[in-house]
Amino acid sequence: MWRYSLCQGRPLPAEPENNPFVNNSKKTVRMISLGCPKNLVDSEVMLGLLREKGWVPSAKDEADVIIINTCSFIREAKEESIANILAMAEAKEKGKCRRLVVTGCLPQRYGQELLKELPEVDLFLGTGELHHIGDLLENSKEGRLSRKQIIGLPAYLYDHRTPRLLTSTPGSVYIKIAEGCSNHCSYCIIPQIRGKLRSRKISSVLQEVRQVVSGGMKEINLIAQDITVFGQDLGGGTDLTRLLRGLVKIKGLLWIRLLYAHPGHVTPELIRLIREEEKICKYLDLPLQHIDDQLLGAMNRPVSSSQVRELIARLRAEIPGITLRTSLMVGFPGETERRFRRLLDFVKEAEFEHLGVFRYSKEEGTPAAALKGHVSEKVKEQRYHQIMRLQRQISLRQQRKKIGTHMPVLIERPGKSSGILWEGRTQGQAPEVDGITFLRQGSVRPGEIFEAVITEATAYDLFGEIVGPA
């Protein structure tokens, strides 16, 4: 379970035994995807491209090829990526793996250094080269790979025609509607490793969603570095609200979830659509980072504390029962005790249903790295725990309000602990970050939505019983 963590790794599962693509005599590939859901989509695209070349996914270290799709957003992500590379290099040395491939953000950012420091790796592939993975591994298999590193300017963008092997839980899928970012927050390295904003055409997104819904998906989770600027690079009236108007018309699609919405770009029209369209989850992921105006300015976040408060008030007033998630940053340069207290008071005031905290990471190549007033790691840690202790109390209070209510729940999997028959999520729980609804009674099918009565709540999870179809 990924809870309050941007960079948590997991090996992607092998395909089921009864899948016609599985053939034990074929070449096998293990994919380890690190980081956020946007990276996960890239991993699924690579698996889809490889499947077309006859490669079979495997969950074992004994696969012919091991691919690690890395994250390098903050220090902890880089450390996790390196740890996974070293562990798989050891597995390669001891097992039958013939190629170790490292893709994604880490090689895009540190290509030359990695070549010197990690000779165990056979191929480094940048964020804009993932669509070449099939041909590269075929060439490598035949001994024709002439370079250990292929890293260019990040310009690639997948579309509805791109093969993709879905690895998400039944009924739910991530849809990446854009790549790259042009916001240039002062602490963020993403524009350098992912490139500038590149939006997909609305027709392409709609076609991909029709395809996954025809395959049984009930929920789509729209993702990008900032979904609210979708289409700005295309012009012609292309924007998020226009995309949503097309999505709600797709038959069989029941939940549309909006993740990564910049608070400075949320429009009245978007708020109105969330309120009026039944298929759009009454949920918004709104990364705020901070509430102090001077720090927001230093972060290059074009939104003031008063605008943030006005937006939250408007969302609460116009969309009754909306679930709000946010991400905050502690320890940004210049965060004095007084400014931190201002953030802490804001957390008490806003009462977010879900909240995650990141400790500021000094990233070379970002404007924030050159700022004065850097905060010690010890103080960052203390401030992180202060906010999380406070948020736990707020979350528990919010969760307990749900006891006795009836809610639709998307069933994900059989229960893993004693007394739990099924695990699922409500509209107020995004995949992997917001908690789980544990069901103790009821007959259901994974990937379908059923109505449940909530009988118990903890700070992060709900417990309930199935009462019938939704």
Strand 449-457 and strand 462-469: pairing? antiparallel
Give the model confidence (pLDDT) of 203-234 as tens digits.
Answer: 999 999 999 999 999 999 999 999 999 999 99
268-276 vs 305-318: helix axis angle to the nearest 10? Answer: 20
Measured CA to CA, the distance from residue 56 to residue 50 in angstroms comes to: 8
- Sorted by where each begins, the domain ranges of the chain are 10-150, 406-469
Q: What percent of the chain has pLDDT over 90?
A: 70
For 76, residues 6+ apart whose C-beta sits below 8 A from its C-beta are 7, 361
Neighbours of 461 (CB within 10 A): 17
Give the SS3 label for residue 284.
strand
Measured CA to CA, the distance from residue 199 to residue 341 in angstroms comes to: 38
What would the DSSP string read from start to end of 12-36?
PPPPPTT-TT--TTS-EEEEEE-SS
Neighbours of 88 (CB within 10 A): 25
Give the model confidence (pLDDT) of 5-46 as tens digits.
Answer: 223 344 454 444 333 333 444 788 999 999 889 999 999 999
pTM of the predicted structure, to 2 decimals: 0.90
Measured CA to CA, the distance from residue 97 to residue 89 in angstroms comes to: 9
What pLDDT shows up at residue 142?
60
What pLDDT shows up at residue 378?
97
Neighbours of 6 (CB within 10 A): 18
Q: Which CATH number fits domain 10-150: 3.40.50.12160, 3.90.550.10, 3.20.20.70, 3.30.70.2190?
A: 3.40.50.12160
Give the model confidence (pLDDT) of 245-300 as tens digits.
Answer: 999 999 999 999 999 999 999 999 999 999 999 999 999 999 999 999 999 999 99
Q: Which CATH number fits domain 406-469: 2.120.10.30, 2.40.50.140, 3.50.50.60, 3.40.640.10?
A: 2.40.50.140
Q: For residue 75, give the DSSP letter.
A: H
Phi, psi of 354 (to 5 degrees): -135, 140
Give the model confidence (pLDDT) of 168-206 as tens digits.
Answer: 889 999 999 999 999 899 999 999 899 999 999 999 999
Indicate if 406-469 has the same CATH topology as 10-150: no
Mean pLDDT of the chain: 90
Give the SS3 label for residue 324.
strand
What pLDDT shows up at residue 24?
45
pLDDT band with cut points at 50, 70 and 90 for residue 144 = low
Q: How many residues does the chain have?
A: 470
Q: What is the mean pLDDT of residues 54-62?
A: 84
Give the model confidence (pLDDT) of 65-107 as tens digits.
Answer: 999 999 888 888 888 998 998 888 888 888 788 889 999 999 9
What pLDDT shows up at residue 348?
97
